[in-house]
Amino acid sequence: MELRHLRYFVAVAEALSFTGAAAKLRLAQPSLTRQIKNLEAELRVELFVREKKRISLTEQGKFFLQRTRRLLAQSALDVQDVRRRGPASGSGSLNIGYTTDLHYNLLPGALGALRKIWPDVALNLFDLTVAEQLRAFEKDKLDLSFVREVKLPPRSGLQREHIHDCNVMVVLPESHAQAKAASVKLSELKPLPFVVLSEEYHPGAQDWLKGVCRRAGYSPRIAHAVDRAPTLLSCVGLELGVALLPQACQQLPHDGVVFRPLVDPVKSRTEIVWKRRSLSQPLKRYVQLVRERFEQGQTS
């Protein structure tokens, strides 16, 4: 088993489509299918339930996806850690964490400006869940991260700064009666089950949802908790519930679901987080560039 096989598995698990994953990986679909079958044979378990028009993860597949993401994220961080321990070149590095599916419109427009100022700084980007980012901070493997509605652990030594608010949208199955409406009232979602991001991977996400619904006069009924937005969209498409997600998530593949604005707008806060004691000169400058970018209203 090689790391590439694990990357192939994650791509298929997130897309829930061999064709979509093959296009993303730039592989021939039959080759990708064969690689996944070989992986299942090596593990001696079935990772996917294969149906005529769609695939889904087995319980073993869901468990393996969680562990595989951790392994790949840790592997990427370890590589950067090894590089940082090499001979000093005076160039330095900047390790930035984010969750791709929640931060499409925040990804790093300020990095180009930073590279012009410090062309020799190594810029390393890591797609990690919030929980993985917090663990990376504990091990001094991240310098800064973009987070949304996060609950920071006490005495973490982390500093946070609010940089941006984005509109939240309702995600509904295409077959739902309200899917045809131009906008939806939050109170109309009261009887419906919600699909949410897991507290294990996104601490603070469920507290945020409960607070939003509380202002509309009810407590949400949480039916399913998942680790990533693509999985959440798949669950909504399977009519397992509805969800609230940042508007930027419309850019994710979302077959079988529709995004609708709320009648009374709800905002989600985006913050940058870093360790107070590790503010290097490149990091200070990057934080300043991010501030300037959002003050100018640039989010892409």
Share of the chain above pLDDT 90, in %: 27
- In the predicted structure, residue 150 carries a pLDDT above the cut 50: yes
Most confident of 3-12, 110-119, 161-170, 181-190: 181-190
pTM of the model: 0.65
- Between CA 21 and CA 16 the distance in angstroms is 8
d(CA 212, CA 206): 10
8 Å CB contact between 159 and 282: no
If DSSP codes are grouped into helix, strand and coil, which group holds residue 121?
A: coil
CATH number of 90-163+270-295: 3.40.190.10
For residue 199, which of 142, 283, 262, 134 has the smallest C-alpha distance? 134
pLDDT band at 296 (very low <50, low <70, confident <90, very high): low
Cα–Cα distance, 36 to 44 (Å, whole number) = 12
- The pLDDT assigned to 101 comes to 63
Q: What is the pLDDT of residues 10-52, one digit of tens each?
A: 999 988 988 888 888 888 888 888 889 989 988 899 999 988 7
Tell me the pLDDT band of 287, cut-offs 50, 70 and 90: confident
> Is the pLDDT confidence value at 79 over 80?
no
pLDDT at 244 over 70: yes
Question: What is the structure's pLDDT at 225?
Answer: 93
97-101, 158-162, 257-261, 267-271: range with lowest mean pLDDT: 97-101
Q: What is the mean pLDDT of residues 67-71?
A: 84
**Cβ–Cβ < 8 Å for 9, 39:** yes
Q: What is the average pLDDT across 177-183?
A: 91
Nearest Cα neighbor of 169 from 117, 112, 247 is 247
pLDDT at 55 over 80: yes
Q: Is 165-268 the same fold as 90-163+270-295?
A: yes
- pLDDT at residue number 236: 94
Average pLDDT over residues 191-200: 93
Rounded to an integer, the average pLDDT of 193-198 is: 94
Residue with tokens 């609230």: 244
**Where would I find the beta strands (DSSP E) of 174-252?**
193-197, 221-226, 243-246
The domain ranges of the chain are 3-69, 90-163+270-295, 165-268
Summarised one tens digit per residue, pLDDT across range 90-105 is: 356 788 888 866 655 5
pLDDT band of 300, cuts 50, 70, 90: very low
The fold for domain 165-268 equals D-Maltodextrin-Binding Protein; domain 2 (3.40.190)
Chain mean pLDDT for the chain: 83
Quickly name the fold that domain 3-69 has: Arc Repressor Mutant, subunit A (1.10.10)
How much is the average pLDDT of 255-276? 89
Tens of pLDDT, residues 218-228: 999 999 999 88
Q: Which residues contact 132 (CB under 8 A, 6 or more apart)?
A: 69, 70, 73, 97, 201
Q: What is the pLDDT of residue 144?
A: 86
